[in-house]
Amino acid sequence: MFKLWPFNGGVHLPTHRQESSTAPLSIAPLPQKLIYPLARRNGRNAKSLVVPGERVLKGQVIIPADGTMNPPVHAASSGWVSGIEQRLLPHPSGFSGSCVVIDGDGMDEAVAFQGVSNYAAMESDDLRGKIHAAGIVGLGGAGFPTAIKINPPRQFNVEILVLNGAECEPYISCDDSLLRHYAHEVLGGALIFMHILRVARCLLAVEEDMPEAIAALELAKAEAGYGHIEIVAIPAIYPTGGEKQLIKVLTGREVPADGIPAQVGVVCHNVATAAAVHKAITAGEPLISRIVTVTGQGVRKPQNLLTRIGTPISELVEQCGGYTDSAQRLIMGGPMMGFALASDDVPISKSTNCILVAGQAEVVGEKTPMPCIRCGACATVCPVNLLPQQLYWYSRASNLERVMDYRLPDCIECGCCDVVCPSHIPLVQYFRAAKSKMAEKEKERLKADHARMRYEARVARKAQEQLEKAESARRKKELLATALSTSKS
Amino acid sequence: MRFPTLPSPHLAPSNSVSRIMLQVLVALVPGVMALVWQFGPGVLVQIPIALISALTAEAMVLLLRKRPVLPVLLDGSAALTAVLLAVSLPPLVPWWMTAFGVSFAIIIGKQLYGGLGFNPFNPAMLGYAVLLISFPLQMTAWLPPLALAHATVSFSDCVALIFQQVTHASFDGLAQATPLDTLKTQLGLQTHLDEIQSAQVFGGLSGKGWQWVNWWLLAGGLWMIRRGLIDWRIPLSLLGSLYLLAMFFFLYKPALYPTPLFHWFSGATMLGAFFIATDPVSASTTPRGRLVYGALIGVLVYVIRSWGGYPDGVAFAVLLLNVAAPTIDCYTRPRVYGHKA
């Protein structure tokens, strides 16, 4: 038996996985429209490489890379660029931004992909470069560039690769589906990661209530002999699939606050990222598609779809038989951490794992909070071991010093405290508000520092000028004095 | 199609305050039934009196504060306070005492601080302490348990006794000191413990009747732990420290100090451990803090019972630790993931 470690808290939630996982994985038809936001991770807009009216091919780079933090974006199918328009972004902010819009031509004509036959003979840096050029980011949800994650600082001795196949949020089954259908690709991707990172050990974590996925992995393992990859069934407790929680469960190690997993010898990737890397290295195909779960009482035929990135949600919902009458809320992601979208005219992004069209009975409306009775249920379930109740008092009072003291920045906004609170207090909202207040204050502090520095520099400069003036006046006087004395004599 | 954009988490909360309060009330049922079985139906008259007083008092304050009345009354917290106080009282205290105690608990103990969630003290115990200090005679006059009663007191007898101004004489005829009370008085008279415990009120693990009430309250308490309504830490540490301290003194001088089990099954021990000390609003909230909080209550209960001025000490012990709870919380914060201790 593999030794597992507990993390504090977590909640058992009904998985609702069957709704989408019992239907076979289907391949979404070629999208009529493809939308690619130009917004970068840092909020600035990239420059499009294509112009309206231009024809693009599948796999062609349409948004260039900008450093390692921003890998390139490729067209997921062939078509004509119809324009660069302001559109609603797939982002919790609900903001609009410039997007490249492509009208699909249904040909799916691709640029030539060039795979590598023997990656084991290649240097890690070259492989990282290929992964970056393939536009690969973490497919688990955060979308962090993969090439950076597999390039940990040299001072850390990485010994374990963790592949995250734990679908911790209810309703989502895209990783389950991936593991059942693409176990070889996932394990192959794991080998590439291991080669790049030069680690000998890989733990692939799957939730224990995903027996088909585990069976598929074991079968693939037996067929191809990936002996050094251990498949570990972990308890299905939300949020075991969180990176820090998963590392704790598998290794008993805790990633330091403000630190990265490499500091405790671990690098963690989502299983779908591994499959994407496998595809990018062996077939040369960039990241242009992923599996997306479309589920909830609000769609007629919940299922997993192999989807081109950039496809509007509306086309996917159509593919799933359209909305039911009970469709109430459109959520990108799961019901715990996903964000509600105002419209379905939003594209699937690289990190979109699920589209949950929730019915009336599946989501909570506007809550009417009661006073906190200090029951501590929130602290019992907090996976980070915070005291949400105290944080709530201090957040309400805008006592940012105490909020900091009680370690609000460590809150991962998983929502556990929120759903167990008997007083129905929207705790996560309070925490988000307090966090943004803290960010605001930090910004003000920087601004004040800047202003103070400028002021001090000005005062110093003035003083210097004064000094120089006095000096030159003195010198003039001296000169004059000598001139006078010489003229006298 | 347009959709509303509400923030995450979208999942509906799984619990509610009124649901918790209701379940705690359910957990009290075995204890109340044991009280009725052993001490007659008086408590069944006291509970409605307490409920009516509590809800009236709460409604009045809410009206004065211009707050919505019905949602607060329905949260069940006032009802729970009422029932907890009602079961703590001797079954035949006059109705106005119950009404006064409960009203004090709700108005002074809870609403004046801002209502549910803001009261530093356990309201029921505050009401109890006020009654105990104001009316010590009535508050220590319990009915004899089933095994010692010469005649059974019927429901209508209880109603008559509670509502009519009973003379002291007739009341005294019925009432009897509790085992803890007898113990305190007799030890004060230098009587040997063996001699004291041969008296009629003692029997079984503690006192006749009393041990059954405590057994059934314990059963209700364990059910609450199983249901996740209360944390195990406070009852465990409370009973644990009480047991250890009692064991120490019992081994030291068995002639003066009764057994640990006597303390467990006497007076309000189980009520205090599972229903009073665990009141979330006034208790400590951190995991380690709860252990400290419970353990200190256990110590104080023993100290008050053994050397204090009152036969039982649960109410005072809880109230004293209520004051300390915020400080305990402050020094027992758990280690956050990824941080050093």
A324 vs B: CB within 8 A: no
Mean pLDDT confidence for A185-209: 94
Tokens of A362: 């599946």
What per-residue confidence (pLDDT) applies to B200? 67
Q: What is the mean pLDDT of residues A242-253?
A: 94
Q: Evaluate if residue B197 carries a pLDDT over 70.
A: yes
> What is the average pLDDT across A326-336?
93
End of a domain among A307, A340, A357? A307
Closest CA to A280 of A480, A119, A155, A402: A119
Query: Of the candidates A274, A291, A307, which is a domain's last residue?
Result: A307
Closest C-alpha to A381, from A48, A47, A13: A13
Residue of A nearest to B72 (CA): A370
Using one digit for the tens of pLDDT, what is the confidence trace for A366-376?
888 999 999 99
pLDDT digits (tens, 9 = 90+) for A45-83: 899 999 999 999 999 999 999 988 999 999 999 999 999
The answer to whether residues A305 and A315 touch, using CB atoms and an 8 Å cutoff, is no
Query: Does residue A243 share a domain with residue A134?
Result: yes
Tokens of A409: 């920045």
Both A387 and A489 in a single domain?
yes
Distance CA A146, CA A167 (A): 19
Residue type at position B137: L
Same domain, yes or no, for A380 and A250?
no
The answer as to whether A410 is a domain residue is: yes
A137, A126 Cβ separation under 8 angstroms = no
Distance CA A332, CA A165 (A): 19
Strand, coil or helix: what is B22? helix
What is the structure's pLDDT at A271?
96
In this prediction, residue B208 carries a pLDDT of: 73
| Residue A74, beta-bridge partner list | A61
Among candidate residues B150, B137, B160, the one with its CA nearest the CA of residue B200: B150
Residue B275 carries which DSSP code? I
What dihedral do alpha carbons B331, B334, B338, B341 form, nearest 10°? Answer: 40
Q: What is the DSSP letter of B333?
A: P
- Cβ atoms A348, A91 nearer than 8 A: no
Whether A376 and A287 share a structural domain: no
List chain B domain ranges.
16-176, 179-341
CA distance to A148, A189, A251, B97, per residue, from A125 (Å) = 11, 16, 28, 83
Q: Does the pLDDT of residue B168 top 70, yes or no?
A: no
- Please say if the pLDDT value at position B207 is more than 80: no
Is residue A3, in this structure, part of any structural domain at all?
A: no
Strands A201-207 and A160-165: parallel
Residue A86: how many other CB atoms lie within 10 Å = 10
A243 and A378 housed in the same domain: no
Joined tokens for residue A232? 């570990």
Give residue B202's identity as a one-letter amino acid code. Answer: F
- The answer to whether residues A167 and A296 belong to one domain is yes
Instruction: Give the domain CATH number at A185.
Output: 3.40.50.11540
- Per-residue pLDDT of B279-313, as tens digits, reads 999 999 999 999 999 999 999 999 999 998 888 88
Note which residues in 292-311 of chain B have CB less than 8 A from chain A: none
Beta-carbon contacts of residue A273 (< 8 Å; ≥ 6 apart):
A136, A137, A138, A139, A140, A146, A189
Query: For the segment B29-53, what is each residue's pLDDT rounded down to a tens digit?
Result: 999 999 998 888 889 999 999 999 9
Segment B9-23 shows an average pLDDT of 93
**Would you say A105 and A31 are in contact if contact means Cβ atoms under 8 Å apart?**
no
Peptide bond into B90 cis (omega under 30): no
What's the pLDDT at B149?
66
pTM reported for the whole predicted model:
0.87
Task: Tell me, letter by letter, the H, E, C secondary structure of chain A.
Answer: CCCCCCCCCCECCCCCCHHHHCCCCEECCCCCEEEEECECCCCCECCCCCCCCCEECECCEEECCECCCECCEECCCCEEEEEEEEEECCCCCCCEEEEEEEEECCCCCECCCCCCCCHHHCCHHHHHHHHHHCCCECCCCCCCEHHHHCCCCCCCCCCEEEEEECCCCCCCCHHHHHHHHCHHHHHHHHHHHHHHHCCCEEEEEEECCCHHHHHHHHHHHHHHCCCCEEEEEECCCECCCCHHHHHHHHHCCCCCCCCCHHHHCEEEEEHHHHHHHHHHHHCCCCCCEEEEEEECCCECCCEEEEEECCCEHHHHHHHCCCECCCEEEEEECCCCCCEEECECCCECCCCCCEEEEEEHHHCCCCCCCCCCCCCCHHHHHCCCCCCHHHHHHHHHCCCHHHHHHCCHHHCCCCCHHHHHCCCCCCHHHHHHHHHHHHHHHHHHHHHHHHHHHHHHHHHHHHHHHHHHHHHHHHHHHHHHHHHHHHHHC
Among the partner residues A328, A338, A373, nearest to B116 by beta-carbon distance: A373
Give the H/E segment covering residue B236: helix B233-252
Give the residue from chain B lying closest to A429, CA to CA.
Answer: B7
Q: Select from A333, A390, A410 the Cβ nearest to the Cβ of B337.
A: A410
- The number of distinct structural domains making up chain A is 2
In a domain, A93, yes or no: no
Residue A40 lies in a domain: no
Cβ atoms of residues A342 and A322 within 8 Å: no
pLDDT at A143: 87
φ, ψ dihedrals at B248, nearest 5°:
-60, -50
With CB atoms and an 8 Å threshold, state whether A337 touches B116. no
Using 50, 70 and 90 to split pLDDT, how confident is the model at B164? Answer: confident
d(CA B42, CA B106): 22
pLDDT at A224: 82
- Domain, as residue range, for A394: 372-489
Residue type, position B26, single letter = V
Our CA-based measurement puts residue B333 at a distance from the nearest CA of chain A, in whole angstroms, of 8
Judgement on whether residues A410 and A298 belong to the same structural domain of the protein: no
pLDDT of residue A206: 95
Return the pLDDT at A15. Answer: 87
pLDDT at A225 over 90: no
Do A412 and A302 sit in the same domain of this protein? Answer: no
Q: Considering only A34-43, A199-208, A329-338, B121-130, which range has the smallest mean pLDDT?
A: A34-43
Residue A99, amino acid: C
pLDDT digits (tens, 9 = 90+) for B59-89: 999 999 999 999 899 999 999 999 999 999 9
Element containing residue B202 per DSSP (H, E):
strand B202-203
What pLDDT, on a 0 to 100 scale, did the predictor assign at position B265? 92
pLDDT recorded at residue B175:
65
* A/B interface, count of CB pairs below 8 Å: 173
Option in B12, B17, B336 nearest A410 (CB): B336
Residues 6+ apart with CB under 8 A from A334: A169, A170, A171, A172, A353, A354, A356
Calculate what percentage of chain A has a pLDDT beyond 90.
Answer: 82
Whether residue A283 sits in one domain with residue A430: no
Asked if the Cβ–Cβ distance from B9 to A390 is below 8 Å, we say no
Q: Does A433 touch chain B (CB under 8 A)?
A: no
* Token output for A443: 């910004």
Q: Which residue of A has its CA nearest to B16?
A: A422
A320 vs B: CB within 8 A: no
Element (H, E) at B207: strand B206-207
Cβ separation of B12 and A363 shorter than 8 Å? Answer: yes
Nearest to B234 by CA among B288, B298, B294, B315: B294
Checking if the pLDDT of B171 tops 60, the result is no
Mutate to test the interface with B, among A405, A417, A423 (most CBs of B within 10 A): A423
Q: Does the pLDDT at position B172 exceed 60? A: no
Span A328-345, average pLDDT: 94
Residue listed under structure tokens 């209810």: A170
Find the range with the poorest average confidence among A24-28, A120-124, B100-104, B177-181.
B177-181
Residues A303 and A440 grouped into a single domain:
no
The rounded distance, in Å, linking the Cα atoms of A478 and B235 is 93
Pick from A342-356, A472-486, B265-279: least confident: A472-486
Confidence check on the interface: ipTM exceeds 0.95, yes or no: no
B291 vs A: CB within 8 A? no
Asked, for residue A319, whether it belongs to a domain, the answer is: no
Residue A340 counted as domain residue = no
Cis? peptide before A302, omega within 30° of 0: no
A386 and A480 belong to one structural domain:
yes
pLDDT one-digit tens code per residue, A268-317 = 999 999 999 999 999 999 999 999 999 999 999 999 999 999 999 999 99
